[in-house]
Structure 1
Amino acid sequence: MLSRKRTIAAGVIILLFIFGLIYRLADIQLISTKSFSKNNVNLIEESVNQRTHRFTINDGRGYFLDRNGELLSTDVKPQIVVFPNLYTRDWPVDAISEILQLPSQRIENMIFSMEKPAALLLLKELTLQQMNQINELEIPGLYAQLVTKRKPLPFANHIIGAVGEDPDLIKQKYKDKLEKGTVSTSTKTGKNGMQYTFDPFLISEGETQFIYHVDRQGNPLFGLDVKYRAQTNPLYPLHVKTTIDKRMQEAVEKYLSNHQVEAGGAVLLDIESNELLALASRPVFNSETIYEHENKMTTHQIPGSIFKIVTAAAAIEKNKIQNDKLYDCNLNIYGKEDERKLGMLNFEQSFSQSCNKTFGDLANEMAAEDNNFIEEYASKLGLLDLNGWRGQVYHFDNFSHFYQEERGQIRNPNKKIRDYQSRLAISQTAIGQLDVKMTPLAAANMMATIARGGTWSEVKAAKSVNFANGTELVEFKEHKGKKESLSPYTIMRLQSLLVNTVKDENGTGHTLQSLPFQVAGKTGTAQKGEGANVYNKWFAGYFPADNPKFALVVVDMKYDTENRTTSVYADIAKAVMEISDSQQE
């Protein structure tokens, strides 16, 4: 009796084990083929990958062009793609050698060193004529092809951004495309910059590849037939025509590196169109630091004396300027002897030589009548708002050209109003210290606004999104004139003040007099609180002053003893003018 019970129990256990195996097999083969286990593994995809060798010619993701139609985010180069498992002694290696002007043995050595399909590493770039000659040989497993590769990250990486794999984002954001099979969980998406903001337009609609199927040993399953698989829609991939000028961007990158700006960057705008021509932030990020990305040009920073432009604008509008009135610029805003003993200066001299005492006194005089005057005039100059282009694009209500752009601030929202009502706090705020912050992008836009005569406009970073054949899908029109502008007289006075800052021999921007054209602008030095000798050093301005074309802001956020800012500014401005002149010839 006991033996019979044990037999039944053992039989039940065996049956349960068999049923478990059957369920497991059914789960793998039929039920969870696209999301197996807690890791949601796509078994069909993995199975295909195991028995497929492939070479990607184009990942299908959209790309970026500069304003003149030059590629920014990708390179398209002719290459020779080799499937090493298909190599036979019948290949006409001597003919290949003659076309490429390389020894036959070297070509064979390159092929033998390959384990999977790859491009031949040639010292010289393949010509289109050589491409055609290779393809005329009709060799199975060897193909000359224009291959699209993503550019290395350092060039314009804070504005263009980077791409990477994010399976969770694909499942959340592109569920319909995932179900249709046009994307997979390994499809790359934008991680930051314009790659992120324009991702809905750029996401791949299918890769272009050479593929062939192999057995367990890596040998061809279906003969020597290598298949060519491409997107079914000839209108894709889309491309974004940016406002960036590639040559000007290269100049900005070059001079920031030459002058060893470790933290900071530069923003360059076209004044007439208010389009972004170049933007670079330091430090650059690489594939290992992509998630530590911070574009310092679109995150707010302490401006220092750049902010005196706001205080000056308010004083002019409120008629607080007395030309014959002198301010004791031997003193600082604390009423103590200043390190820079500038003597008795009038308003214009105080601006060009950046006297803190003058602007502290003026601010307190105006605050006695209107405690919110600083916010009002900072807003008129666009410093408290998002300055990048935003608007409705299809079903995107708040589509933005700039990734994670921050607004400026006058006061810390966590502090109480009374913390800003003392005479010292008003003086500190008026000279761009205490809790005042603005983005370098906003500062550049302020300069463009003043140079243009007072009309504020959002900054565009893209002109359009286009189909593969060049037909326009989306056009980004100008967004301007939304703000209450300053009076023409105030703008004229501000222009004069900015010119004198460089023109005056005692002005803080006088070193820029060496340029072959007149610059108008303002310096700024702001202590960051990280140490007694660590400052933000700014120069914000526009040029040529008599016929403004470009607004440029340069910021060095690790200024200690060496003033790199005006040197960087001078080099970039000179290069930009030379590029502009050559483009007009």
Structure 2
Amino acid sequence: MISQKRLMFIAIVFLSLILLLIYRIADIQLISTNSFSKHKINLIEESVSQRTHRFTINDGRGYFIDRNGELLSTDVKPQIVVFPSLIKDKWPIAKIAEIVQVKPENLREMLAHFSKPGTLSIQHEITVEQMNKINSLEIPGLYAQLVTRRKPLPFANHILGAVGEDPKLINQKYPDKLDKGTVTITTKTGKNGLQYTFDPFLISEGESQFIYHVDRQGNPLFGLDVKYRSQTNPLYPLHVKTTIDKKMQETMEKYIDFYGLESGGAVLLDVNSSELLAMASRPLFTSKTIFKNEDKMTAQQIPGSIFKIVTAAAAIEDNKIQDNRQYDCNLNIYGKKDERQLGLLNFKESFAQSCNKTFGDLANEITDSNPEWISEYASKLGLLQKNGWSGKIYHLDHFSHFYNEEYGQVFSQKKKIEEYRSPLAISQTAIGQLDVKLTPLAIANMMATIARGGPWKEVKAAESVNFANETELITFSDHEQNSESLSPYTMMRLQALLVDVVKDERGTGHALQSLPFQVAGKSGTAQKGTASTLNNKWFAGYFPADKPRFALVVVDLKHDQTNRTIPIFSEIARELMDISEEN
């Protein structure tokens, strides 16, 4: 026989379970309807969503256009939207088929496969005139509309970036908008690239949709009408006018893929303004590898002989150049026999043919009078700072155009400065080895700075943020360097040296002589260490050399025996000149 205490205990347990169940029901039905669980789910909205058939015409997120007004991140095309719940036998199939120029039987087959709202899969693109004719039929469940869709990831992959759902990021960045209900935890947000940096201006505050409500059996709740819902503010969504040239971006991507560049990329700047015209990085990221494949163009890379430009600038300004002096370029910086055996060369020839011994010797001579010269001149050429545009705009104190851009370095913070004072360490640093790491973006900007004779400017990726009616909300003014820069004479000497790299028959860039215009530039090969069989291979330059318009850097981070950088540079440069003449 069960004791009274045990019965009391069982009764308390059951009562507790019932009270807990009652509280749970009350929490779902009455208390937390607007913010249920740690994910802050709006149960009312979710309930309505289960009884709603919808088709999104525009997700309400802002978009990017290129410098000429061409769409970059989205496509806008006429589409025919179908709501399958409203398909009726009395639809004028023959008339619809005639307008869209398909066979009636094919149209019937298309309609039979719809299980949820979607668009007709017509092989050819319909015209706005056909779209208007469809709408004139006034068929419930069939609507022609300009539909906006995001472009697939491969185009301008890293610079534009991607969007996706990220409840944690939404809670972190937009608590005010969440409280006001203008965004939800499912609102798509920028994950990287310009989509991330410009997210405060691009984030959607309302979609444009066709909406149709049904009951549990799929029958219409509010008649046969499909409702149209859009943002209430006609000035939204905003759009960003970038500095990118769509044709130039396509050209760049075409040739780095054609030559099989697996890791690395290219950067193209306008010489006069230092505005970004195109940028591509490989490997591409996908939705699964979005944070694993960083943008190689804004990340530190070992520059190799590209850094000899810095050493040359310091030697010129410190009056260490003697035109008749010969350097033994049969030796390397270790004093041993060099495999290239370049012979005795003067300074000009050493730069064109990239003799390491010359620049190792000069570096040590400069150090005797100025031990801090390496950092000083690397900074004067803009290589150690972030090169992307940054500043305070609107209500954002630290706004940057480029996502996760890294600083350059000549010395590792993990080592003591004394470790870089030996003659060998100075020589290694002077030729861009040891711990020197620079971003391709910074190197491209250095080339633009030299080409125009200074001053150094921050690289802009966008011109303005605009309202839907084209009125400018924000414009990005040029940011020029205020600190000390190189003298005009040094700039002139560097320009001449860069031209000789291509003009000299033994110069490392002589293969570019075949172009119908003069190129100025510098090659670079950087060893990644004894454990790696692959090197970094560079060519950085500008063109035309006599009237510079474009600064271009190409880098192969998995260089084997095939030199891809020179052919890629050549093909891109040739086509860019054709494009610029068309414009």
Deviation at 1:10, TM superposition (A): 5.8
Number of the residue aligned with 2:371: 371
Q: How does 1:44-83 map to 2 (within 5 A)?
A: 44-83=44-83
AA matched with 1:337: K
Number of the residue aligned with 2:460: 460
AA matched with 1:252: M
Deviation at 1:122, TM superposition (A): 0.6
Number of the residue aligned with 1:180: 180
Aligned residues: 583
Secondary structure class of the residue paired with 2:518: coil
Secondary structure class of the residue paired with 1:265: strand
Deviation at 1:12, TM superposition (A): 4.7
Number of the residue aligned with 1:283: 283
Contact 1:81–1:143, Cα closer than 8 Å, also in 2: yes
Q: 526-535 or 218-227, which moves further after superposition?
A: 526-535
Q: Which runs of 5+ in 2 are unaligned?
A: none
Number of the residue aligned with 1:101: 101
**Alpha-carbon distance in structure 2 between the residues aligned to 1:7 and 1:487:** 96
1:500-559 C-alpha deviation (Å, 9 max, x unpaired): 000000100000000000000000000112745311000010000000011000001111
**Alpha-carbon distance in structure 2 between the residues aligned to 1:301 and 1:51:** 54
Contact 1:329–1:343, Cα closer than 8 Å, also in 2: yes
**Alpha-carbon distance in structure 2 between the residues aligned to 1:65 and 1:203:** 16
1:182-224 C-alpha deviation (Å, 9 max, x unpaired): 2111110000000000000000010000011112222222221
Q: TM-score, normalised by structure 2?
A: 0.98
Contact 1:65–1:242, Cα closer than 8 Å, also in 2: yes
Q: 401-410 or 284-293, which moves further after superposition?
A: 284-293
CA RMSD of superposed structures (Å)? 1.4
Runs of 4+ residues over 4 Å off in structure 1: 1-14
Aligned-pair identity (%): 70
Secondary structure class of the residue paired with 1:290: coil
AA matched with 2:469: N
**Alpha-carbon distance in structure 2 between the residues aligned to 1:18 and 1:146:** 54
Number of the residue aligned with 2:242: 242
Do structure 1's residue 487 and structure 2's residue 484 form an aligned pair?
A: no
Do structure 1's residue 331 and structure 2's residue 340 form an aligned pair?
A: no
Deviation at 1:41, TM superposition (A): 3.1
Q: Closer, same or farther in 2 for the Cα pair 1:350/1:2, shift >3 Å?
A: closer
Number of the residue aligned with 2:270: 270
1:436-458 C-alpha deviation (Å, 9 max, x unpaired): 01100000100010011121100
Number of the residue aligned with 1:529: 529
Q: 140-149 or 34-43, which moves further after superposition?
A: 34-43
Contact 1:264–1:556, Cα closer than 8 Å, also in 2: yes
**Alpha-carbon distance in structure 1 between the residues aligned to 2:184 and 2:105:** 40
AA matched with 1:387: N
**Alpha-carbon distance in structure 1 between the residues aligned to 2:551 and 2:69:** 23
1:154-209 C-alpha deviation (Å, 9 max, x unpaired): 00011111001101111121112122222111110000000000000000010000
Q: 449-458 or 176-185, which moves further after superposition?
A: 176-185
**Alpha-carbon distance in structure 1 between the residues aligned to 2:230 and 2:530:** 54
Q: TM-score, normalised by structure 1?
A: 0.98
Do structure 1's residue 208 and structure 2's residue 208 form an aligned pair?
A: yes
1:292-339 C-alpha deviation (Å, 9 max, x unpaired): 131100001000000000000000000000111000000000000001
Do structure 1's residue 254 and structure 2's residue 247 form an aligned pair?
A: no
Contact 1:456–1:483, Cα closer than 8 Å, also in 2: no
Deviation at 1:381, TM superposition (A): 0.2
Contact 2:283–2:293, Cα closer than 8 Å, also in 1: no
Q: How does 1:129-144 map to 2 (within 5 A)?
A: 129-144=129-144
**Alpha-carbon distance in structure 1 between the residues aligned to 2:371 and 2:55:** 66
Contact 2:352–2:506, Cα closer than 8 Å, also in 1: yes
1:65-97 C-alpha deviation (Å, 9 max, x unpaired): 000000000000100000001111111111101
**Alpha-carbon distance in structure 1 between the residues aligned to 2:384 and 2:2:** 86
**Alpha-carbon distance in structure 2 between the residues aligned to 1:72 and 1:59:** 16
Contact 1:409–1:435, Cα closer than 8 Å, also in 2: yes
Number of the residue aligned with 1:232: 232
Number of the residue aligned with 2:351: 351
Number of the residue aligned with 2:91: 91
Deviation at 1:230, TM superposition (A): 0.3
Secondary structure class of the residue paired with 1:98: helix
Secondary structure class of the residue paired with 1:215: coil
Number of the residue aligned with 1:322: 322
1:370-411 C-alpha deviation (Å, 9 max, x unpaired): 211011000000000011101101121111000011110000
**Alpha-carbon distance in structure 2 between the residues aligned to 1:159 and 1:134:** 39
Q: Closer, same or farther in 2 for the Cα pair 1:139/1:354, shift >3 Å?
A: same
Contact 1:519–1:541, Cα closer than 8 Å, also in 2: yes
1:226-251 C-alpha deviation (Å, 9 max, x unpaired): 11000000000000000000000000
Q: 281-290 or 492-501, which moves further after superposition?
A: 281-290
AA matched with 1:379: S
Number of the residue aligned with 1:573: 573
Q: Closer, same or farther in 2 for the Cα pair 1:367/1:213, shift >3 Å?
A: same
